[in-house]
Chains A and B, each alone.
Chain A
Amino acid sequence: MNPIVTLTLQADLRYLRIASVMACNIAEIFADASCTAGNVAEFCHACELSVSEAFTNSVRYAEPSQPEKQVTIRFFSDNGTLTVNIIDNNPQFNPVTQAPDINSYPEGGYGLFLIHRLMDTVSYTRMDETNMLTMTKHATMTHAE
């Protein structure tokens, strides 16, 4: 399956908004016309927020010694499902996360937790020193009567 969009950005927080706005715009176009306005907004927000979290992590955990730090984001659509890959060359990471202990007032550690809660599936692969985080979201359809 070929991606509908591939976006490669320098791993720099200055470009964070490009990544998340792209995700929101693609999600909006992708969402079926029969989605209710509320469903489309929620779908777009989930995609925008998840990509924001994933891109931020890719930037934050990039090795300083890497000469060219880049993050590639690929968007696929298939049968009512939007799939997003976030690809980087950072060190391997553990994609499983527990909820942060909120009572300790944590400033971080929420990113992957949010992604798992917002997206329908989240998976991780590591190959040839490359990380790929894959997230999917099913568009909720309402059917015209």
Chain B
Amino acid sequence: MNINEKTINNYKILSLQGILNASSAPQLKTFIAGLPDEQSIVVDLENVEFLDSSGLGALVGIARKKRTSNAVVKLARMNERVKKVFEITQAYTLFDIYDDVSAAAEA
């Protein structure tokens, strides 16, 4: 999985590309652990071809940790395959979800 980062309005935008599963989830966790705890994040999921519960769990865990630092994790540009996993588990209730990255970084 590739992780591309940029900054918009004090949000770190992480654009994920590829597969987010049990094999690649540790990579995402390690990447975010390298950011300051108080850094808010927008995760751009448009190019995530496949996400399973390990990927979901990584995002949920990251969101939980960020809450303790008064930071937020927002999700943007979910495709239908990713959306399905969030809907079945109801994990969408834990995140603010946006159709585009700019809107997420402005809110």
Does residue A77 face the partner (Cβ distance < 8 Å to B)?
no
- Please give, as numbers and ranges, the residues of chain B lying within 8 Å of A99 by CB-CB distance: 89-90
Interface size on A, residues (CB 8 A): 27
Contact yes or no, B93 A106, CB < 8 A: no
- Flag A1-45 by CB within 8 Å of B: 1 or 0 each: 000000000000110110010000000000000000000000001
Does residue B56 face the partner (Cβ distance < 8 Å to A)?
yes
The stretch among A48-56, A120-128, A131-139 that forms the contact with chain B is A48-56
- Please give, as numbers and ranges, the residues of chain A lying within 8 Å of B19 by CB-CB distance: 17
Whether A17 contacts B21 in the complex (CB less than 8 A), given A45-B81, A105-B64, A107-B61, comes out as yes
Contact yes or no, A13 B63, CB < 8 A: no
Closest to B57 in A: A107
B contact patch SS: helix
Closest to A52 in B: B52
- Please give, as numbers and ranges, the residues of chain A lying within 8 Å of B67 by CB-CB distance: 105
Closest to B23 in A: A13
Contact yes or no, B56 A105, CB < 8 A: no
Contact yes or no, A102 B93, CB < 8 A: yes
Does residue B28 face the partner (Cβ distance < 8 Å to A)?
no
Cα of A8 to Cα of B89 in the assembled complex, Å: 30
A-B pairs with beta carbons under 8 A, tally: 71
Q: How far apart are B104's CB and chain A's nearest CB, in angstroms?
A: 20
Contact yes or no, B57 A110, CB < 8 A: yes
Does residue B69 face the partner (Cβ distance < 8 Å to A)?
no
Cα of A49 to Cα of B50 in the assembled complex, Å: 8
Whether A107 contacts B23 in the complex (CB less than 8 A), given A52-B52, A102-B90, A114-B53, comes out as no
Contact yes or no, A105 B21, CB < 8 A: no
Partner of A110, one of B50, B56, B63, B81: B56
Could you show 8 A-B contacts with beta carbons less than 8 Å apart?
A45-B81, A48-B50, A49-B50, A52-B52, A99-B89, A102-B91, A114-B89, A117-B88
Chain A interfacial positions (CB closer than 8 Å to B): 13-14, 16-17, 20, 45, 48-49, 52-53, 56, 59-60, 99-100, 102-103, 105-108, 110-111, 113-114, 117-118
Known: A16-B22, A105-B60. 14 other contacts (CB 8 A): A13-B22, A16-B23, A17-B21, A20-B52, A45-B84, A49-B52, A56-B54, A100-B89, A102-B89, A103-B93, A105-B67, A107-B61, A110-B89, A113-B88
